[in-house]
Structure 1
Amino acid sequence: MRRRWMPTALGLGFALVSVLGLTGATPGARASTAPPVLTDGHGLTVVKQPWWVDGNERTFTFVVRTDEVPKYSAMAGQVSGEHVIMVTLPEDYDSSGGTRYPVQYHLHGHPDYPDTALNQQMFEESTAGGVPLINVAPNGSGRGWYTNWVNSPAELGQQNWENFHLDQVIPFVDANLRTISTRDARAISGHSMGGFGAFHYAERRPELFGYLGSFSGGLDLLNQAQRAAVVGTTQLPGSGTPTVPADAIFGVPVWPLDTVWNVRSPAQHVESLRGMGVAMYAGNGGNLAEEPVAALAESVARDTNLVTRDNLVAAGIPHTFVDYGDGSTWAEGCDGKHAQPACLKADMRHFVGLLMAGLAHP
């Protein structure tokens, strides 16, 4: 597993160089010290069986291939077409036991990876002490944007990230792990680009999820700064090689050719979330003179959250919105900036508390 943490940030066209995207838990008493053996299925081929990332034996990674995303723009350390997925099990998980658990699917930001040290810490720390929750972090690549691309470049083939995650990863996990495979025991969450993905997936397929969480997500594709950020990810080499055309993901970003941008903008399509638990978290960037890129990134992300909140209120859909400002009252070490680890850990702790109150579990 990668022990580095790659920050994510919201870019504003050419003005910014980054874009929105971006441990010792108590070992469980498990009957076997081997991670689960996984069986191919639901369109996924396992090319590397699970291995524990450390001696705590709670978190493992594995690698699959899928025809829905046969290749992708690979970042450093990635093999295009090989998709790493990280799973954190509850402390008392027993592959041969009878207990089944709810699942949280967490989507990483841009330009980031699913198997980071920060993700592992977020998952293990938020479920320490016997919290009965499985966490799954699938690969979304540096610029996947958790959607089926409208103009996939021929050199990569189709980029059907939505199909990969919703139609393949979810049933694959249910078939191979001891999950409660129902809507009321399944959650989707994500950070930054992943926050967009979580809202997009929940709105497109509300029958799959009982709870939704966004951590500093870019939720409004009508926001021009957010739109510039997405276009920026197509052009930055740090988002993966090769780069792709600016219209590859959502099509042409300019009216009147921007239909897909409008249709897939989460902020304006909240009605399908009715009856689902919804939570959003955002800071205001804090002091703009300190780390101005991360500060501005969070400020723009918060703007998209405010639009989403207003639409949820107008629709009469209950939700939780933690608007934590400069972070000083949210968590020690949180400064209200984008991709700040202390802020994200606090987001996850709070969100897992909501899940345990709202999802079916042992």
Structure 2
Amino acid sequence: MLSAAPSAAHADTDTPPSLTDGYGLTQVPTEKPIADSNTSTSFVITVTTPQVANDPGTTGHHIKILLPADYAANPTRRYPVLYLLHGVGGNPIEASSYPSLQNPTSVIEVIPDGGIRGWYSNWLYQKTAAGAQNWENFHINQVIPFIDANLRTIPDKAHRAIAGISMGGFGAFHYAQDHPELFSQVASLSGAIDLSRDSMDVRMAAVGTLTNGGGVCGSSLPVCPASFGPTVSSDALFGTPYPFSIFYPYSDTLWNKADPSTHMAKMAGMGISIYVGNGNGNPANMEFWAESASKHVKDHLDALKMPYHYVNYGNGTGWGNCDGGHNGPCWAQDLQDWIPRLEQAFAAS
């Protein structure tokens, strides 16, 4: 039986619902330029938690929430929830800007902070310059129950979906595999969904975000930013990324354990969607590597005889304003294709 719905009547259309702290999350004031744009159906809250340190220059972690237009007018109605995970260097506000996410009619959309390079995981090593990095704890044990307690969700697997862009694609598959009881629909948009030895290029791109390009810059991989934050060891996330090492855990055991591609059986029964381009065959475009990773996942799904929805739009011809690269116009078209299918799946559940 569903619990009593939180109060959600708000006469002022510019006022977001009032949410109550809990599950280890404490709300703090959101920066005024962001808060000034909040409405009752599209708003950002900012939270702090001991599970994940604030990124440099921030006071907390943003969570973008988009509610259906009739949310306040129908105080007894409950809604399915989509959790969307952003990519490396992204943020919830940027990720909420795609047209297909605007003005939802039947789904609550939640876009939580995933850090500059949090990789949607509990890092092996917590005592680095980056501070606490328990992103899986934050999202699974805190954000999801916080949303269910404060908003009129339908709090079950059949009515909860997770999707992600690039790094967030890894996060979506990783969370679905670690917590299959929580999600019924999963989607990867240009996702880093193969961290196995079959995709050492993608694995090294992830390492580059930890080391700020150290050991990777100068190769063909586009992972040489000014900074992803404090430089940490390549081992901070899952231990050594290399197949053979004299350092704990002595091989890439934990990378292989976290790799989604070789554990697709854990997603049996879920609706699985994969979108990817080809980066125009250019190894300097991250989409080139995302395509290889996605094909590996497709091969594993085929071997398991599991159903899925797979779109490889190549160089982007005929796919909206997409050019086949690792960028927003392609992801906008991915969402335009996926969101209606998600709504249909929820309606049928």
In the superposition, the TM-score normalised over structure 2's length comes to: 0.85
**1:249–1:55 CA distance, 2 compared to 1 (3 A):** closer
Letter aligned with residue 98 of structure 1: T
Q: Which runs of 5 or more residues in structure 1 are unaligned?
A: 1-28
Within the candidate set 303, 323, 333, 2:292 is matched to 303
Q: How big is each residue's C-alpha offset from its partner over 1:95-117, in whole Å with a ceiling of 9 and x where there is no partner?
A: 7711111111000001111111x
SS in 2 for 1:87: strand
Matched, 1:234 2:195: no
Q: Work out which of the residue numbers 136, 140, 154 in structure 1 matches 2:110.
A: 136
Q: Deviations over 1:121-173 (max 9, x none)?
A: 32x53454x62111111111111000010012344443110010011100000
> What is the count of residue pairs matched by the alignment?
318
- Equivalent in the alignment of 2:252: 258
- CA deviations 1:62-86 (Å, max 9, x no partner) are 11111111x1443xx533xx11111
Alignment root-mean-square deviation, CA: 2.3
Segments of structure 2 that go 5 or more residues without pairing to the other structure are 1-8, 213-224, 245-250
1:329–1:96 Cα change, 3 Å: closer
Contact 1:284 1:336 (C-alpha < 8 Å) held by counterparts: yes
Instruction: Give the 3-state SS of the residue equivalent to 2:122 in structure 1.
Output: coil
Letter in 2 for 1:299: F
Aligned to 1:64: 47
Q: Is the 8 A contact 1:142 1:239 kept in 2?
A: no
- The correspondence for 2:58, drawn from 67, 78, 82, is 78
In the alignment, the residues of structure 1 paired with residue 227 and residue 202 of structure 2 have an alpha-carbon distance, to the nearest angstrom, of 16
Q: In 2, Cα distance between the equivalents of 1:133 and 1:245?
A: 40
After the TM superposition, which segments of 4 or more aligned residues of structure 1 sit over 6 Å from their partners?
none
1:121 aligns with 2:109: no
C-alpha distance in structure 2 between counterparts of 1:55 and 1:265, whole Å: 37
**Secondary structure of 2:325's match?**
coil
Name the residue aligned to 2:179: 205
**1:249 and 2:237 aligned:** yes
Between the two structures, name the one with larger relative contact order (CA 8 Å, sep ≥ 6): 1
- Once the 2 structures are TM-superposed, how far is the Cα of residue 246 of structure 1 from its aligned partner? 1.2
CA shift, 1:192, in A, is 0.2
Deviation per CA, 1:23-65, whole angstroms, max 9, x where unpaired? Answer: xxxxxx9743210111011111111379766376531001111
1:224 and 2:206 matched = no
Any idea what SS the aligned residue of 2:241 has? coil
Cα distance in structure 2, aligned partners of 1:95 and 1:229: 47
Is the 1:210–1:277 Cα contact (8 Å) retained in structure 2? yes
Alignment TM-score, normalising by the size of structure 1? 0.82
Helix, strand or coil for the counterpart of 1:224? helix
Cα deviation per residue 1:229-263 (whole Å; 9 max; x = unaligned)?
A: 01100122645332211110111011131100000
Question: Which residue, out of 318, 338, 344, partners 1:357?
Answer: 344
1:244, 1:349 → 2: CA distance? 37
Instruction: Report the equivalent of 1:322.
Output: 311
Q: Is the 8 A contact 1:216 1:298 kept in 2?
A: yes
Q: 1:270 aligns to what SS in structure 2?
A: helix
**Percent identity for Structure 1 against Structure 2:** 42
User: Which residue pairs with 2:85 in the alignment?
Assistant: 107
Q: Which digits, 9 at most, give the CA deviation of each residue in 1:197-235, with x for residues without a partner?
A: 000000110100010000000111121101110110012
1:360 Cα offset (Å): 4.6
Q: Is the 8 A contact 1:100 1:179 kept in 2?
A: yes
Aligned 1:261-276 pairs, distance under 5 A: 261-276=255-270
Matches of 2:58 and 2:276 in 1, distance apart? 30
The equivalent residue for 2:16 is 35
Partner secondary structure for residue 137 of structure 1: strand
The question of whether the paired residues in 2 share the 8 Å contact of 1:145 and 1:193 is answered with yes
